[in-house]
Structure 1
Amino acid sequence: MKLLVLVGPTAVGKTKLSLELAEALNAEVISGDSMQVYRGMDVGTAKATEEERRRVPHHMIDIHDPDHPFSVAEFQAKARELIAEIAGRNRLPFIVGGTGLYVESVCYAYEFSEGGGDEEFREEQRKYALAHGEEALHAKLREVDPISADRLHPNDQRRIIRALEIYHMTGIPMSEQLAAQKKQSPYELCIVGLTMERGLLYKRIEDRIDEMMEQGLVQEVRRLLDQGYTTDLVSMQGLGYKEIAAYLQGNLTLGEAVELLKKNTRRFAKRQLSWFRHMKDIEWVDVTDTANFHAHFQKIHAIITAKLKLNDHFEGGPFS
């Protein structure tokens, strides 16, 4: 089966390109974002709009309530099912997103074990974070697994604890275990990565956050808190939700929360690029010249059609 993947840091322009490519290539989009699975979390996750979803079928959006502990293993299983279903409809499966491990787990034959947990150890780490702060917990991970520490934000308590737990139980850092996974794809694979001059990317990130504030991010987070979704949930640890919740709970001013969100998002984009740079098979395209969208589209289109050996007219072409 053929599989198309588009990756890149937040705010680089994946959504616009993905819509144009999906229409040209008779594709259906699978969101590769670990936060877009949550219902009611729309503004902060920059989901495709209803109009955009009418243009192109989208999957893995709004499939869980915010109290569901979504995992990479669940994403991988669901995405594999969707890829087979989409190919069975004679359309091209197209993963678009920025959660590196999630995307990579589908592209290659990663194996995840759901067993082997140590709940007592996890609870000890949660108490440690509560007593000493998230930065201290993150520092513990850096001592035993600096590569994973670089990839995980200090706010991402659940994944930090999981990485510590893996080291605690096996004596082998999670990053080493991931590196040892088979990097052979079960698919006929084409991965395109978008990159951009860093200063421009950071400006786009800041502009996007200002736009999110105008679209009602504060109201969205307030509604989630009012519905009983607490800040210790995986979903509420996401960028935008944690910072705005801190404002709503009186721990930050609104200005401080927005500046913190911008800083955290810039750091997140840097970690995304670091992750993708370590992935193989990516065809990188620099989209810094944002006024030249058509040229970028044509270049990416040519990469895809050559790599996946698609015919000149993509209407109903065979993708399985």
Structure 2
Amino acid sequence: MVTQALSKPKLLVLIGPTAVGKTKLSLSLAAEYGAEIISGDSMQVYRGMDVGTAKATLEEREAIPHHLIDIHEPDHPFSVAEFQERSRSLITEIHDRGHLPFLVGGTGLYVESLCYDFHFSEHGSDEAFREEMRQYAELHGNEALLERLREVDPEMGDRLHANDQRRIIRALEVYHLSGQRLSEQLKVQKKQSPYELCIVGLTMDRALLYKRIEERIDLMVEQGLVEEVRRLKEMGYGLQHIAMQGLGYKEILGYLDGALTLEEAIVQLKQDTRRFAKRQLSWFRHMKDIEWVDVTDLGNFSAHLDQIHAIIADKLKIERQYH
């Protein structure tokens, strides 16, 4: 059982770039601490998008409770605000069950906004501006749209991926409506956390990480990524839906639409994913309170676990249940 501090609930967090090994470590840690996992991934919320989002298997999810996975159809515009609201409620419910809430994921804005209880300024919206930006992206491409953001907010431009059209447009809209950079707003948000936090970050040699990314994508193709995207396309989901602009889906749609060969789509996906991992690491470097663990030595899994156990004992003052 987790004994909760009177002032703040405990929250264990595991972050790191894609393919660094978060899932394997999180399952071991959750089993040892009696934790329930909250997904901090903006894509795993979507049903039918399993291979491309590298969800934990059904067996793994039966062994360890997982939350915020398979909660929406791919046409739902999942937002950071919804993520915050749902996660806050889950943290309370998990604590009430005597378990440890365990946030695991790589979507930096989602993780940081929950850990530090971000409150985003209400600047309203300008639907005409949004539509103008969507049309600009359709005409010139997402990379050109991202370049527009870099011109007014270079830091946010470097932290977002070109495929993340909705957040790029929102950042442009915030500047358009207020004259303020979204990156500056985020900086002033970093206040005291409402939780007793332990944030563990996984890192590894960059060349090894890129090799693991490429191997993971090859495995995804073997496991049926193309068939998954084809099924979604046949159900009527396309690039007009935010979910389908995610890594793996946009590139394979290009193949299914005849714009790319399968080989070209896979090469593009590997390149896009390497860039995404670089942006994830850039985002995490701006965060505070992270205890970094280098997991480059893949054969030393137990040593990595021991290092994390020591961090948890120091930060949260709790011990493993099973050891």
Normalised by the length of structure 2, the TM-score is 0.95
1:262 aligns with: 270
- Given candidates 48, 52, 67, the residue that maps to 2:60 is 52
TM-superposed deviation, 1:184: 1.2
1:8-63 deviations in Å (ceiling 9; x for gaps): 00000000000000010110000000000000000000000011111110000000
1:314 aligns with: 321
* Amino acid corresponding to residue 290 of structure 2 in structure 1: I
1:123-160 deviations in Å (ceiling 9; x for gaps): 11111112222222111111000111111111211111
Unaligned runs of 5+ in 1: 316-320
- Given candidates 275, 298, 302, the residue that maps to 2:306 is 298
More divergent stretch after superposition (131-140 vs 246-255):
131-140
1:231-250 equivalences under 5 Å are: 231-250=239-258
More divergent stretch after superposition (177-186 vs 165-174):
177-186
Separation (CA, whole Å) in 2 of partners of 1:275 and 1:114: 23
1:36 aligns with: 44
Does residue 135 in structure 1 map to residue 136 in structure 2? Answer: no
TM-superposed deviation, 1:115: 6.3
Separation (CA, whole Å) in 2 of partners of 1:94 and 1:181: 22
2:96 aligns with: 88
1:174–1:292 distance in 2 versus 1, CA, 3 Å: same
Aligned-residue CA RMSD (Å): 1.0
- Does the 8 Å CA contact 2:123/2:177 hold for their aligned counterparts? no
1:184-220 deviations in Å (ceiling 9; x for gaps): 1000000000000000000000000000000000000
1:220 aligns with: 228
Q: Secondary structure at the match of 2:299?
A: helix
Residue identity over aligned pairs, in percent, reads: 72
Separation (CA, whole Å) in 1 of partners of 2:215 and 2:134: 34
* Amino acid corresponding to residue 68 of structure 2 in structure 1: M
User: Runs in 1 of length 4+ with deviation above 4 angstroms?
Assistant: none
2:6 aligns with: none
2:295 aligns with: 287
Separation (CA, whole Å) in 1 of partners of 2:279 and 2:273: 10
Separation (CA, whole Å) in 2 of partners of 1:266 and 1:45: 15
1:67 aligns with: 75
- Given candidates 156, 166, 178, the residue that maps to 1:148 is 156
- Given candidates 9, 14, 29, the residue that maps to 1:6 is 14
Does residue 192 in structure 1 map to residue 194 in structure 2? Answer: no
Q: Secondary structure at the match of 1:10?
A: coil
Q: Secondary structure at the match of 1:290?
A: coil
Separation (CA, whole Å) in 2 of partners of 1:83 and 1:115: 29
1:109 aligns with: 117
